[in-house]
A and B are shown apart, each in its own frame.
Chain A
Amino acid sequence: MSIDVETARRVAKLARIQVDQGDLPALAVELSNILGFMEQLNEVNVDGVEPMTSVTPMRLKRRKDEVTDGNIQDLVLKNAPDAREGFFAVPKVVE
């Protein structure tokens, strides 16, 4: 499967990474090469094989559904590029 410029643009958009128009052809070639490498997987007979979902067969532990921490608003906001009045600030989302 090879990736064309339009697909490269769509992937970059989905990934929320700005790619300049001029860089899209090179990106498409690069992604195509990597996907070409993955094509080898089509040689494997995977009939009846379940996709691996957990690395070690282990039941997830359960715990009581209760609050175990909190009241650390200042710490949560401390690394924010823009925080105001106890909130993360972002450009206007709703017109």
Chain B
Amino acid sequence: MTNANELTIAAARDALRKGELSAVDLTMSCLTAMDAGDALTAYVHKTPEMALEQARAADARLKAGDAPDMCGIPLGIKDLFCTKGVESQAASNILRGFKPEYESTVTSKLFGDGAVMLGKLNMDEFAMGSSNESSCYGPAVNPWRVDDRELTPGGSSGGSAAAVAGDLCIAATGTDTGGSIRQPAAFCGIVGIKPTYGRVSRWGIIAYASSLDQAGPMTKSVRDAAIMLRSMAGHDPKDSTSADLPVPDFEAALTGDIRGKKIGIPREYRVPGLRPEIDRIWTRGAEMLRDAGAEIIDVSLPHTKYALPAYYVIAPAEASSNLARYDGVRYGHRAKLGAGDGITEMYEKTRAEGFGAEVQRRIMIGTYVLSAGFYDAYYNRARKVRALIKRDFEQAFAAGVDAILTPATPTPAFGLGEMQSADPVEMYLNDVFTVTLNLAGLPGVAVPVGLDADGLPLGLQLIGRPWEEGDLLNHAYVLERAAGFVAKPQKWW
């Protein structure tokens, strides 16, 4: 048998229910892997005592025959989720030492189903970044490597992707504002789904850009994503944008049958400079879906090109409002004040010391585009373009398209530090294929499909209709089976 920490949710669930494995043993196996994986800097706060306590409670439930799917499954939780009594600092110095007195809705639901928390996972500061390098803890490291360089796991949910790919947990939570689940999933060869906006409650998740943020599972298989999403999803009166819709059994939707489905290939995603290996795998993915009986059709999403600039107006605008709360008064860091410093100096010094460079940059961009005289030129114009991007998708779906297939990222994982000297805008290009969905509120899933010539994982993205994550995951399931991606990073840590 493989080591227990290498199991999928589905396999662990079945073994737990059959009594072949106890939740405590499974948790011990993950805790051992977690401690042996410090070189990945995936975990930033470990909670072994809490994990074992939860595992013992899960074993009692399993024994009593009252065990939901997630019962006894050890998870890593992104540092963006507020977890009661456990450091939750969004990888920012401004929240150093912050221990929430409440539990986010997502983690309450997971724990309510018996899931186990191993610890908190690394990420880009306030989820702003695509390489994990803006973390106050230092970057998480991709378990995949091809030479002596350390590679980025992607971002912002980089710690989550590294922990899942390196088997330092069974699965992890992530959040996605512009691609922060799908890009790291693709870089690390795992599955990650961003659900429809409103499917999962945002309550208790530290906010970046509220009209774009959405949490989702990061897992070792499509089936696992279906199982875990069901536990995370559902209406929450504490998040007014969460949808009051029933949560279907996503796993039951995995029939493997997509005959007669129409898959759109958007021509605008064939961007200039697209790597040939990414283009090849995209074509191969389309062939796999065609071989499974789907019809492949060309579609046009004409405003695609404007998604990134629209995003980089809207997200910083929302961030500048959301992050105004970090003022050194109610929680987190407060700067040491000099003689004669008043409250304005307290705000300004606290925020200069507490926020990293990228966060400061986005707050200031957001402040600028919302300021008097520029609001219409930037913010309102971006919101109008956003409406057009959403309309592009609506028209494609109205024409009968069931799902859209695109690359997940423009490149495979790059080396940590390699983008340090780059212009911030170059880093933003990482999100070129993923950011459109956040603007349109649509669900999207990244699926590992193959390896590049160097042996690094490459992923494809499937985009679905709103609220049809089950159908979307079924397409992903077909792609996953056809691709037969079983490669694992060679353990070097």
Interface residues of B in 95-119 (CB under 8 A from A): 97-101
Residue A84 at the B interface, CB < 8 A?
no
Contacts of A88 in B (CB 8 A): 329-330
Contacts of A37 in B (CB 8 A): 308-309, 312, 425, 428
Partner of A55, one of B197, B313, B334, B382: B197
The answer to whether B387 and A51 touch across the interface, beta carbons within 8 angstroms, is: yes
Chain A's nearest CB lies how many Å from the CB of B147?
Answer: 32
Partner of A56, one of B334, B341, B386, B466: B466
State the 6 A-B residue pairs at the shortest beta-carbon distance, nearest first: A51-B383, A79-B331, A81-B334, A55-B441, A18-B348, A18-B352
Residue B45 at the A interface, CB < 8 A?
no
Residue A53 at the B interface, CB < 8 A?
yes
Contacts of A72 in B (CB 8 A): 101
Chain A's nearest CB lies how many Å from the CB of B59?
Answer: 31
Instruction: Determine the main DSSP class of A at the interface with B.
Output: loop
Given contacts A41-B313, A56-B196, A78-B101, contact A34 B331 (CB under 8 A): no
The answer to whether B351 and A17 touch across the interface, beta carbons within 8 angstroms, is: yes
The answer to whether B198 and A50 touch across the interface, beta carbons within 8 angstroms, is: no
The answer to whether A16 and B333 touch across the interface, beta carbons within 8 angstroms, is: no
Residue B20 at the A interface, CB < 8 A?
no
Partner of B241, one of A18, A43, A51, A55: A55
Residue B32 at the A interface, CB < 8 A?
no
Residue A15 at the B interface, CB < 8 A?
yes
Nearest CB to that of A51 among chain B residues?
Answer: B383
Chain A's nearest CB lies how many Å from the CB of B422?
Answer: 11
Q: How many residues of B contact A (CB 8 A)?
A: 73
Contacts of B361 in A (CB 8 A): 30-31, 34
Chain A's nearest CB lies how many Å from the CB of B339?
Answer: 11
Interchain CA distance A52-B388 in the complex, whole Å: 9
Interchain CA distance A8-B369 in the complex, whole Å: 13
Q: What are some 13 contacts across the A-B interface (CB < 8 A)?
A: A11-B371, A16-B324, A17-B355, A33-B423, A40-B305, A40-B306, A44-B385, A52-B387, A55-B241, A61-B237, A78-B101, A79-B101, A93-B343
The answer to whether A49 and B387 touch across the interface, beta carbons within 8 angstroms, is: yes
Known A34-B361, A54-B241, A81-B332; further 10 A-B contacts with Cβ < 8 A? A14-B371, A15-B364, A18-B352, A34-B365, A37-B425, A46-B385, A56-B197, A81-B328, A81-B331, A90-B329
Q: How many residues of A contact B (CB 8 A)?
A: 52
Nearest CB to that of B376 among chain A residues?
Answer: A51
Contacts of B351 in A (CB 8 A): 15-18
Report which A residues bind B (CB closer than 8 A).
1, 3, 7-8, 11-12, 14-19, 27, 30-31, 33-35, 37-44, 46, 49-56, 58, 60-61, 63, 72, 75-76, 78-82, 88, 90-93
Nearest CB to that of A47 among chain B residues?
Answer: B384
The answer to whether B371 and A41 touch across the interface, beta carbons within 8 angstroms, is: no
The answer to whether B424 and A40 touch across the interface, beta carbons within 8 angstroms, is: no
Interchain CA distance A40-B196 in the complex, whole Å: 28
Interchain CA distance A78-B333 in the complex, whole Å: 13
The answer to whether B320 and A50 touch across the interface, beta carbons within 8 angstroms, is: no
Given contacts A80-B331, A82-B334, contact A40 B363 (CB under 8 A): no
Contacts of B378 in A (CB 8 A): 35, 38, 41
Residue B53 at the A interface, CB < 8 A?
no
Nearest CB to that of B97 among chain A residues?
Answer: A79
Report which B residues bind A (CB closer than 8 A).
97-101, 196-198, 211, 237, 240-241, 243-244, 303, 305-306, 308-310, 312-313, 320, 324, 327-334, 337, 341-349, 351-352, 355, 360-361, 363-365, 367-369, 371, 377-378, 380-388, 390, 423-425, 428, 440-441, 466
The answer to whether B384 and A51 touch across the interface, beta carbons within 8 angstroms, is: yes
The answer to whether B424 and A41 touch across the interface, beta carbons within 8 angstroms, is: no
The answer to whether B347 and A16 touch across the interface, beta carbons within 8 angstroms, is: yes
The answer to whether A79 and B365 touch across the interface, beta carbons within 8 angstroms, is: no
The answer to whether B390 and A41 touch across the interface, beta carbons within 8 angstroms, is: no
The answer to whether B99 and A79 touch across the interface, beta carbons within 8 angstroms, is: yes
Partner of B348, one of A17, A60, A81: A17
The answer to whether B368 and A11 touch across the interface, beta carbons within 8 angstroms, is: yes
Partner of A12, one of B240, B324, B364, B440: B364
Nearest CB to that of B323 among chain A residues?
Answer: A15
Interchain CA distance A61-B235 in the complex, whole Å: 11
Interchain CA distance A75-B100 in the complex, whole Å: 9
Given contacts A18-B351, A56-B198, contact A91 B342 (CB under 8 A): yes
Partner of B306, one of A8, A44, A79, A82: A44
Contacts of B331 in A (CB 8 A): 79-81
Partner of A52, one of B196, B337, B390, B428: B390
The answer to whether B383 and A53 touch across the interface, beta carbons within 8 angstroms, is: yes
Partner of B346, one of A31, A51, A60, A91: A91
Interchain CA distance A20-B196 in the complex, whole Å: 42
The answer to whether A50 and B343 touch across the interface, beta carbons within 8 angstroms, is: no
Interchain CA distance A52-B308 in the complex, whole Å: 16
Contacts of B328 in A (CB 8 A): 81
Interchain CA distance A18-B351 in the complex, whole Å: 7
The answer to whether A80 and B329 touch across the interface, beta carbons within 8 angstroms, is: yes
The answer to whether A31 and B337 touch across the interface, beta carbons within 8 angstroms, is: no
Partner of B384, one of A31, A40, A52, A76: A52
Partner of B363, one of A15, A76, A80: A15
Chain B's nearest CB lies how many Å from the CB of A39?
Answer: 8
